[in-house]
């Protein structure tokens, strides 16, 4: 896809290599230091926005960026971006979590060693003209226990480096399996147990509502009196007031902080007067290599997003490895087509969408498939932009409950996706599978059918009696509408049948009304499953 017509605004300083990568494919403007009002005035007309931590992307900025498709954060955290506002607008938010992994892990290890050997305090003392060796006797990290809170990219790299220093590593991570941790030589424990046992505790979790003040007064009281605390993750995870009190009364041996709840750290912060505290001004990602890496990484993510390709580091989409995503593409198309079909069949506002994954597809991460189905369902009903980013948020906001289940039962198919829509007047159900990589609809309201979900269609429920299809065909023919294919499903002779007529062109309302007048027609829907919607 040619991106030459796309415009990208870089609002914070990033490495020149990242800007060059963007300029290789799109038009790029660099305008740093903009005030909130200036950014709101300027953002309209840009397809992408690049920031670091300085610029605040508020809901007002999101609303003003009417062309925005993607917001990129050069770095890990996205707490300066209104994620809810961006998600509801369907704006993809990406970051570059891998680019500063080594830098943050190395800074963590530097702080651990500096705490252990009183490096900073001894340096200050010597520069003041003192030679006080006995005052700065340190401790070795050999055979000490490091407690890692969060074994993600950075936490995992810290653990590896600590093991290289012959430290024992224990960890708390509710999202990691004990088996995976064991393979890394790490014992997974509850948070309280990690705090009780560790000589050093290092924090590597994102800042969320759940992790705000994760390490507070109660948690600090659990730590050993000779323990040391390190935070190179996000300010606010550690309760700084409680930490200051614990250090002042001698409960902890020391602390090293690179991040703070309010940055820059105030000059009168009590932490600055404590001799057993090391502070650095948010330097975790501040290496030349990391700055280049995060800038290039976020540039690549933005270009992928603008091209409509799958991104690796979407913050407001379910995570899925690239290889898995490539394999899932046919199922994603199937899920969206099923949703579109269900959206046309539903005759009133939906209160519940039920997704059932059967067979091989049930063994995969289906979160993105569910979003694709919801997106498809909403598209025939809404004029606003719906995509994988905002589909679920829009559905929930409209009062639609989403239910997902998985089963090994496949009704004879290797994989089957079924979708049921519950409305005030009843429910409609569709089911589909893949023939090779091609999506096929194999069920409508329990009737077995078999057709490809593409193009224009007439789908009707009618009494199964001679001449029904002929009458419909005559009406269409008289109005120069060509039938491209016919698919019939019925439970028994003479009962209700489902007919799917593929047609070459849209069917006008007046023609639909004529078909509805045919004796025996119980329900008739025009369905648009073209790919250019």
Residues identified as active-site:
234, 263, 282
Encoding tokens for residue 499? 């007919």
Q: Cα 176 to chain center, whole Å?
A: 18
CA 426/CA 351 separation, integer angstroms:
10
The owner of tokens 């979708």 is: 419
CA 32/CA 30 separation, integer angstroms:
6
Q: What are phi and psi of 497, to 5 degrees?
A: -120, 155
Burial of 450 (0-12, 13-18, 19+ CB in 10 A): middle
CA 43/CA 24 separation, integer angstroms:
21
Encoding tokens for residue 490? 């019925």
**If phi over 0 gives left and psi between -120 and 50 gives alpha, with beta otherwise, what is residue 129?**
left
- The answer to whether 96 and 119 are in contact (CB under 8 A) is no
Angle at 485 between CA 484 and CA 487, to 5 degrees: 160
**Long-range contacts: 37-44, Cβ < 8 Å, 24+?**
39/11, 40/64, 42/9, 43/9, 43/68
Encoding tokens for residue 402? 């989403």
Where b means 16+ CB within 10 Å and e means fewer, 61-98 reads bbeebeebbbbbbbbbbbbbbbbebbbbbbbbbbbbbe
CA 196/CA 125 separation, integer angstroms:
33
Q: What Å distances lie between residue 176 and 104, 172, 190, CA to CA?
A: 21, 9, 12
DSSP element (H, E) containing 529: strand 521-529
Encoding tokens for residue 68? 């925005």
Q: Cα 70 to chain center, whole Å?
A: 13
Burial of 313 (0-12, 13-18, 19+ CB in 10 A): buried
Burial of 276 (0-12, 13-18, 19+ CB in 10 A): middle
């Amino acid at each position: 896809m040619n991106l030459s017509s796309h415009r990208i605004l870089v609002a914070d300083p990033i490495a020149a290599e990242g800007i060059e990568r963007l300029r290789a494919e799109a038009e790029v403007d660099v305008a740093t230091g903009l005030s909130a009002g200036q950014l709101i005035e300027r953002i309209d007309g840009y397809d992408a926005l690049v920031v670091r931590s300085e610029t605040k992307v508020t809901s007002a900025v999101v609303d003003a960026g009417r062309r925005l498709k993607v917001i990129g954060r050069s770095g890990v955290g996205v707490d300066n971006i209104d994620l809810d506002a961006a998600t509801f607008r369907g704006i993809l938010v990406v970051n570059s979590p891998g680019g500063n992994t080594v830098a943050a892990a190395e800074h963590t290890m530097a702080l651990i060693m500096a705490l252990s050997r009183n490096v900073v305090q001894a340096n200050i003392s010597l520069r003041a003209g003192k030679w006080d060796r006995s005052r700065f006797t340190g401790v070795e990290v050999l055979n000490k226990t490091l407690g890692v809170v969060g074994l993600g990219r950075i936490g995992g790299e810290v653990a590896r480096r600590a093991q290289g220093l012959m430290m024992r590593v224990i960890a708390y991570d509710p999202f990691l399996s004990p088996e995976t941790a064991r393979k890394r030589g790490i014992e997974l424990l509850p948070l309280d147990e990690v705090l009780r046992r560790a000589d050093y505790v290092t924090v590597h979790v994102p800042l969320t509502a759940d992790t705000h003040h994760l390490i507070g007064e109660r948690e600090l009281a659990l730590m050993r009196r000779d323990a040391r605390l390190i935070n190179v993750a996000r300010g606010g995870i550690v309760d700084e007031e409680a930490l200051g009190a614990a250090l002042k009364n001698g409960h902890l041996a020391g602390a090293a902080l690179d991040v703070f709840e309010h940055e820059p750290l105030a000059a009168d912060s009590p932490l600055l007067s404590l001799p057993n505290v090391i502070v650095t001004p948010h330097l975790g990602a501040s290496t030349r290599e990391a700055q280049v890496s995060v800038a290039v990484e976020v540039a690549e993510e933005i270009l992928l997003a603008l091209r409509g390709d799958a991104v690796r580091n979407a913050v407001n989409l379910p995570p899925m490895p690239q290889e898995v995503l490539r394999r899932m593409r046919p199922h994603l198309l199937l899920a969206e087509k099923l949703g579109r079909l269900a959206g046309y069949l539903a005759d009133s506002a939906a209160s519940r969408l039920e997704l059932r994954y059967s067979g091989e597809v049930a063994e995969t991460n289906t979160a993105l498939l569910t979003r694709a189905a919801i997106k498809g369902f909403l598209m025939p009903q809404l004029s606003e932009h719906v995509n994988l980013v905002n589909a679920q948020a829009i559905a929930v906001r409209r009062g639609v409950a989403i239910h997902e289940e998985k089963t090994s039962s496949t009704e004879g198919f290797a994989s089957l996706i079924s979708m049921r829509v519950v409305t005030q007047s009843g429910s409609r159900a569709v089911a589909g599978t893949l023939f090779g990589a091609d999506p096929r609809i194999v069920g409508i309201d329990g009737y077995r059918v078999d057709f490809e979900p593409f193009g224009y269609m007439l789908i009707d429920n009618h009494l199964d009696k001679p001449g029904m299809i002929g009458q419909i065909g005559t009406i269409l023919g008289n109005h120069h509408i060509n039938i491209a294919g016919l698919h019939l499903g019925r439970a028994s002779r003479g009962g209700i049948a489902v007919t799917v007529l593929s047609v070459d062109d849209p069917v006008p309302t007046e023609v639909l009304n004529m078909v509805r007048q045919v004796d025996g027609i119980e329900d008739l829907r025009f369905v648009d499953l073209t790919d250019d919607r």
